[in-house]
Amino acid sequence: MIATTAGCSAQNAPEAGSLPNEAGSEITLSPANDPAADSSLEPLIAPVPKSQEPTKYPPYDESHDITQTTTNDAVVQTAGYTDSQPTTDSQPTDLPGKPRTFRREGRERALRVSYDDLDLLMNFGMEPVPPDAVSQFPDWLKQLDGEKVRIRGFMYPAYEEELSAFVLARDNEICCFGRNPKIYDLIVVKLSPGKKTRYIENRPFDVVGTFHIDPVMRGDRWFQLYRIDDAQVIDK
């Protein structure tokens, strides 16, 4: 579930353009309003330091990652994807690390995904996140890459208008109250070409777009793990 702590304002938010990292210092966001932004530019998220704790992984069985879902027309074999009526929130019923079932929502038929689905510590015991994390992802997570998804989060305070890109944070404690984010708590969002959005302060909203697993590291420091392209903001 996404935290919905209220009461944050520009006065108690961190200075625009920075985020607290796992070590207690700050990570800096580069300008997020370049309409020509593409994958060749520097990532929007500055590095998250690597923890010194050893990596521990629970045993994982991928033998049942692929599930079959019967529709009115055919049997569709997917990584836990099902068609259903739109819902307002993702409520995973699977145990941590087990395949997820994602519902398709709205006219975009986007898969409803939550930050819990993307949490590497909760699902796979990855602490810290190792450089080869993506190679250890199960099929159900890897197969989200390239899918149209819908996810709910908070806009990191940039206090700018006419944004063409921004960082979507897991909760507003990251945005306003200095909770140290993990790299999987932050998603780089790039809007569809020519589209802009205003800054949305201290309330959750949905983003619909094409999800990518796009790890970016410099040395042993994380800059980016997830990205959403061709995105649209749904502020309802």
Q: Are strands 165-169 and 148-155 parallel, antiparallel or unpaired?
A: antiparallel
Whole-number pLDDT of residue 179? 67
Q: How many residues does the chain have?
A: 236
What's the whole-number average pLDDT of the chain? Answer: 71
Does residue 96 carry a pLDDT above 80?
Answer: no
Has residue 11 been placed in a domain? no
Has residue 41 been placed in a domain? yes
Has residue 7 been placed in a domain? no
Highest mean pLDDT, choosing among 4-18, 104-118, 158-172, 177-191 = 104-118
Has residue 149 been placed in a domain? yes
The angle at the Cα of 121, spanning 54 to 19, to the nearest 5 degrees, equals 95
Give the number of other CB atoms < 10 A from CB of residue 183. Answer: 25
User: What is the amino acid identity at position 182?
Assistant: K
| Cα–Cα dist 32/188, whole Å | 10
Tokens describing residue 124: 């796979």
Has residue 10 been placed in a domain? no
Whole-number pLDDT of residue 156? 83
Has residue 197 been placed in a domain? yes
Give the domain extent around 200: 18-234
| Number of domains composing the chain | 1
Instruction: List 111's β-bridge partners, or say none.
Output: 104, 149
Has residue 93 been placed in a domain? yes
Has residue 6 been placed in a domain? no
Greater model confidence, 176 or 165 = 165
Instruction: List 155's β-bridge partners, or say none.
Output: 168
The answer to whether residues 197 and 159 touch, using CB atoms and an 8 Å cutoff, is no
Tokens describing residue 16: 């625009």
Does residue 204 carry a pLDDT above 70?
Answer: yes
* % of the chain exceeding 90 in pLDDT: 47
Is the peptide bond prior to 130 cis by the omega test (within 30 degrees of 0)?
Answer: no
> Per DSSP, which regions of 7-139 are E strands?
18-20, 26-28, 67-70, 75-78, 81-83, 102-105, 110-112
pTM greater than the 0.85 cutoff: no
User: What is the amino acid identity at position 120?
Assistant: L
Does residue 19 carry a pLDDT above 70?
Answer: no
